[in-house]
Structure 1
Amino acid sequence: MKNLGSVIREVRKSKALTLKQVAGSELSVAFLSKVERGDSDIALNNFLIVLKTLNISWDEFFYVANGYQGGNRLKFIENVKKYILEDNVYGLQRLQSIEAKACNHNSKYHHFNVIIIDLIISQIQHKQFKKEYVTELQTYLLNVENWGIYELTLFNNVMFCFPTSVLSLLLDNATKKTIAYRHLPQYEELLMIIICNNLEITLQQKNIVRAEKIVAQSKEIYRDKRISLSNMKFKFLQGILMMYTGNVDAGKKLVVGVIDACYVLGDDEQANSFVKYLNGSTNFEI
């Protein structure tokens, strides 16, 4: 784990805050500077003051301190993804049983894990989602004060269960309630993955007006120009949207450019998935 002082400095600089702004009226700039350099320890009460002025939760701070490695909550999500890729319903059910037994220790998160698996199994087996489960997740995500990595990951893995109107509202929540963490590494990328997945669902529903709003919204949020999966997928889906709105030639050019770029970068699997989506989910061919 990183030194606490160096993490305080990393978060402070990522949010463009000065030592004076973080120290506020309760701590001295000199003391905070020593803490950041590792020349002084920090008492718990002062550490909590720093968290408050940085506007970051305890969990999020230690997520950064651990080098952006997820704790048990995120490891659970990774296990779920593994079983989904394997089409392993038995594995999901076994994991659900483990989470159900752990509910007494940390009822909220383990209970949510039970719900997540139930919804995913229902989707795999083409069964109706339990309305009370969908409502419970919706209520939590709408009312939690700030969306951290956990909330973003939770939403990304259950967005398939929400109706369009709720999905739209939750995406707005995701963009507004992560603003305090937006400059931290991985937040923007994860938020953009959510936007891409949301855009994909919206295009499948042929809700063009909503899709255009999502694209406009994402341009205000996403300023990272590095090559990434979310960046490529966003441009690909943007090309699909352009074709749906009548700008077929420009849309095809963008889509082909993204697919070709994937092949050039050696990501044949991603390129093939884009081609499969184009041929299977739209009426367009390239």
Structure 2
Amino acid sequence: MDRLSKTNAGQLFHKIRNNRGFSVAQLSSGILSPSTINKFEAGTIQLSFFNLAPLLQKMDYSLDDFYNQVQTSSASASYRKFLDGFESIYQENDLPTLKKASQELCAVYEKDQNFQSLIQAATAISLTKSVDQSYETNPLITQRITEYLLKVNYWGKLEVAIFNNCSFLLTSQMVKTITKELIYSQSVSALALINVADLMYQRQEYQLAKEIVKQVENLRLNQNDLVTRFKFLFMKNLLTLDASTARVRNQQLIDGSLRSLGSNSLASTFEVYMTKHSFPNT
């Protein structure tokens, strides 16, 4: 177990113990010393299977469920750290660096066949393709990430993030199927849905994009989430207004929401979007 997993295990154990109403002294009695549990919860030591099993059993908590949650939590933290580092390259539309990073991450996955390597490589390729749609994807990575997403039974934050970031590698039919599942299970954020609508718009799947935007209208948008509200209105205008009106409304939106805040680079990106992609026939 790596340092990150060790920390997550201790934090999860602490949460379970509190929820079950056990003090450290009560839980440790007859099994371990209280100081050992304190150190485990603090992330300074790890417990063996033989020590952890009776503690979880005493709290009526499945050992399998515990390990699954620790692994998911660790994967989420590692993926978030990767995204934080990759975001600046993507936001700058630095295509040469994006392509280089994608190739390097593909090579890592082909060597170690690790899950983290897979989702990082797939994300890098997908985001690169979102900048340059002619970019040739890696068939192995595309196949493996597709297989993974098709097998997902529970859509947590990690799974939704992977789907959202890797959607440029998926067929429109698969995106549609997964999106419906996410809406039904109420596991997806408004921004994630808007990003999927954006992808469908770029693929000229206008009816599906319109259906997704309509679903977003049924969600309660956070009034303080300016990015989500902006992109929702931007996409809604494109999909429901005629081209001339949509262009005027969106330019007003860009000037009032982005340029007024000094986000000139982001404003320019959305202006280019309207010239780069065809307007639907409304």
TM-score range normalised by the length of the shorter chain: 0.5 to 0.7
Q: What is the alpha-carbon distance in structure 2 between the residues aligned to residue 251 and residue 140 of structure 1?
A: 39
- 1:108 is matched with 115
Q: Does 1:73 align with 2:79?
A: yes
Q: Does 1:150 align with 2:146?
A: no
Task: Confirm or deny: 8 A CA contact 2:105 2:117 kept in the other structure.
Answer: no
- 1:212 is matched with 210
Q: Give the match's secondary structure for 2:180.
A: helix
- Aligned-residue offset at 1:225: 1.9
Match of 1:94 among 98, 104, 115: 104
Amino acid at match of 2:83: I
Paired residue total: 238
Q: What is the alpha-carbon distance in structure 1 between the residues aligned to residue 272 and residue 137 of structure 2?
A: 28
Task: Confirm or deny: 8 A CA contact 1:99 1:114 kept in the other structure.
Answer: yes
Specify whether residues 122 and 212 from structure 1 end up closer, same or farther in structure 2 by C-alpha distance, changes over 3 A only: closer
Q: Give the match's secondary structure for 2:204.
A: coil
Specify whether residues 169 and 86 from structure 1 end up closer, same or farther in structure 2 by C-alpha distance, changes over 3 A only: same
Task: Confirm or deny: 8 A CA contact 2:251 2:271 kept in the other structure.
Answer: no
Q: What is the alpha-carbon distance in structure 2 between the residues aligned to residue 202 and residue 143 of structure 1?
A: 23
- Aligned-residue offset at 1:255: 5.3
Task: Confirm or deny: 8 A CA contact 2:202 2:277 kept in the other structure.
Answer: yes
Q: Which has the larger radius of gyration?
A: 2
- 2:170 is matched with 162
Task: Confirm or deny: 8 A CA contact 1:262 1:270 kept in the other structure.
Answer: yes
Q: What is the alpha-carbon distance in structure 2 between the residues aligned to residue 216 and residue 279 of structure 1?
A: 24
- Aligned-residue offset at 1:230: 2.1
Q: What is the alpha-carbon distance in structure 1 between the residues aligned to residue 127 and residue 253 of structure 2?
A: 34
Task: Confirm or deny: 8 A CA contact 1:239 1:250 kept in the other structure.
Answer: yes
Q: Give the match's secondary structure for 1:221.
A: coil
Task: Confirm or deny: 8 A CA contact 2:193 2:216 kept in the other structure.
Answer: yes
Q: What is the alpha-carbon distance in structure 1 between the residues aligned to residue 73 and residue 60 of structure 2?
A: 11
Task: Confirm or deny: 8 A CA contact 1:260 1:271 kept in the other structure.
Answer: no
Q: What is the alpha-carbon distance in structure 1 between the residues aligned to residue 200 and residue 133 of structure 2?
A: 22
- 1:273 is matched with 269
Q: What is the alpha-carbon distance in structure 2 between the residues aligned to residue 283 and residue 213 of structure 1?
A: 16
Amino acid at match of 1:237: M
Alignment of 1:137-286 (within 5 A): 137-177=145-185, 179=186, 191-244=189-242, 249=245, 252-253=248-249, 256-282=252-278
Amino acid at match of 1:259: D
Task: Confirm or deny: 8 A CA contact 2:190 2:216 kept in the other structure.
Answer: yes
Task: Confirm or deny: 8 A CA contact 2:197 2:212 kept in the other structure.
Answer: yes
Question: After alignment, is 163-172 or 191-200 more displaced?
Answer: 191-200
Q: What is the alpha-carbon distance in structure 2 between the residues aligned to residue 97 and residue 131 of structure 1?
A: 13
Task: Confirm or deny: 8 A CA contact 2:108 2:117 kept in the other structure.
Answer: no
Specify whether residues 280 and 86 from structure 1 end up closer, same or farther in structure 2 by C-alpha distance, changes over 3 A only: closer
Q: What is the alpha-carbon distance in structure 2 between the residues aligned to residue 61 and residue 250 of structure 1?
A: 42
Task: Confirm or deny: 8 A CA contact 1:147 1:174 kept in the other structure.
Answer: yes
Q: Any unmatched runs of 5+ in structure 1?
A: 10-21, 64-69, 183-187
- Aligned-residue offset at 1:109: 2.9
Q: Give the match's secondary structure for 2:150.
A: helix
- Aligned-residue offset at 1:168: 1.0
Question: After alignment, is 128-137 or 193-202 more displaced?
Answer: 128-137
- Aligned-residue offset at 1:239: 1.0
- Aligned-residue offset at 1:100: 4.2
Q: Any unmatched runs of 5+ in structure 2?
A: 1-6, 25-33, 42-54
Q: CA RMSD in A?
A: 4.2
Amino acid at match of 2:100: Y
Instruction: Calculate the TM-score normalised by the size of structure 1.
Output: 0.63
